[in-house]
Amino acid sequence: MIAPHSVIRWSDALLLGVDFVDHDHQEAVETINRMAALAVDGKDLTAEMTAFRQHCQEHFAREEDMMARTGFFAIEPHSDEHHRVLAEADGIIAKLRAGESCLDYFTEALPQWFLEHRATMDFVTADFARERGWTSAA
């Protein structure tokens, strides 16, 4: 039996008040939901996951630039976590190429990770940046 997959429902409750962060996160949620549904259907996700890793790399770089420019106090653990996730994504892509489905990753681990990361490290980072007067144009 295939476990029901998690669907992240996008709503204003997920907004963090920094334009590029919210825009990237909304895009990530759409992709995560789409990949979970495809995984349940047994589809090959190599191309989607490769594109999603690129999305993450670019998004993480934007967050890290904001952290550096605002003098965020926890830039190291937040950046380390980004690097860990990119390495994990590389491992998943390798498994997909080898023919594994990685179903649990797409239906549980990845949606759960997104929600936790948004609610902790990204939340604190965005809050700090806004307090420091960060604007989209900065």
Residues lying near Fe ion in the complex (CB under 5 A) are found at 63, 122
CA–CA gap between residue 40 and residue 36 (Å, rounded): 6
CB of 76 to Fe ion, least distance (A): 13
Between 52 and 96, name the residue whose CB sits nearer to Fe ion: 52
CB of 48 to Fe ion, least distance (A): 19
Between 44 and 58, name the residue whose CB sits nearer to Fe ion: 58
Between 33 and 63, name the residue whose CB sits nearer to Fe ion: 63
CA–CA gap between residue 99 and residue 53 (Å, rounded): 18
Q: Which two tokens stand for residue 36?
A: 């979970």
CB of 94 to Fe ion, least distance (A): 23
Q: Which letter, b or e, does each residue of 26-39 get, where b requires 16 or more Cβ atoms within 10 Å of its Cβ?
A: eebbebbbebbeeb
SS3 at position 56: helix
